[in-house]
Amino acid sequence: MDTSSTPRYPSDLTDAQWELIAPMVPVKPGGRPAKHARRRIVDAILYVNRTGCSWRQLPHDFAPWDTVYWYFKTWNEAGVTDRIHDALRAAVRDGNGRDPMASAGIVDAQSVKGADTVGRDSRGYDAGKKVNGRKRHIVTDTLGLLIVVLVTTAGLQDRVGARPVLARAKMAMPSIALVWADGGYVGKLIAWAQQHCRILVDIVRKPEGRHTFEVLPRRWVVERTLSWLMRTRRLARDYERLPEHSEAMIKWAMIGLRPDAWHPRPDDAHGNPRTPDSTFPNTY
């Protein structure tokens, strides 16, 4: 049985957020009524995601940790996490006057250290970033909202990981026809994406002679999304035993964003931010 209550932690859902996702969170079928409210299960997952605590260290006012983990795993396997995430993304795009099916996106990758819970079979070494762990390959829309994520070993090159993540993006959102990328994606990927995914990969380069940091058109959007993820403590490094659970945690991080984070400031005609916007939602 569901009950509404005043949020007790900054990561808890607001009433408005719960109202949006409640129809997509399955009710326990048959048998005895569920002992724990669906909303508090979602709040517990968001708490682990935001604070970075282990499952076993969930506060006692939530359901038992193994119950929460069971729901996390079961919902991920059943596609519930994807449905919630994708529905929220579509609603935000619609609220911004955009078609829920995006026609353009941005691809990037991020290497993060792996905790001792990450096995050798799913971790690797990124020599360029000097990181031993995993790599997150993501495609976002032009608002910075996540379309798809693929978690691999950190040793996989960006342009190699781009193939399966672009294929996954095309399957999830067939309307995508253009994807911006940085110089790490040059080479055979461009022809491959055009032939196999019908996606034009446009490389955004730094102006010649520039060696300092510079906000690049379109590129800043996906970099901001990656910075949002890193402010979620569970994602500061990879703790998940399974890559698919890492992907689920990334989706839950996006689900947990407050509404003000899902409304980026308007861009100028060149895709640059009109004003600096590097602050993660401060409602946590």
Residues whose CB is less than 8 angstroms from the CB of residue 267 and which lie 6 or more positions away in sequence, other chains included: 273, 274
Position 269 scores a pLDDT of: 43
Write out the two tokens for 201.
């990969």
Q: Where are the domains of the chain?
A: 78-206+217-261
> How far is the C-alpha of 81 from the C-alpha of 24, rounded, in Å?
9
pLDDT digits (tens, 9 = 90+) for 77-88: 999 999 999 999
Query: Residue 203: what are its φ and ψ, rounded to 5°?
Result: -85, 125
pLDDT digits (tens, 9 = 90+) for 25-41: 988 766 677 789 999 99
Question: Where residue 257 falls among pLDDT bands split at 50, 70, 90?
Answer: confident
Per DSSP (E only), the strands in 9-145 are: 104-113, 124-126, 131-140
Q: Inform me whether the pLDDT recorded for 247 exceeds 50.
A: yes
Task: Say if CB 199 and CB 193 are below 8 A apart.
Answer: yes
> How far is the C-alpha of 246 from the C-alpha of 242, rounded, in Å?
7
Position 225 scores a pLDDT of: 95
**Stronger pLDDT, 42 or 15, i.e. the higher one:** 42
Top CATH class of 78-206+217-261 equals alpha beta
Is the whole model's pTM more than 0.85, yes or no? yes
Q: Of 234, 248, 236, 241, which Cα lies nearest the Cα of 119?
A: 241
Rounded mean pLDDT, 214-229: 84
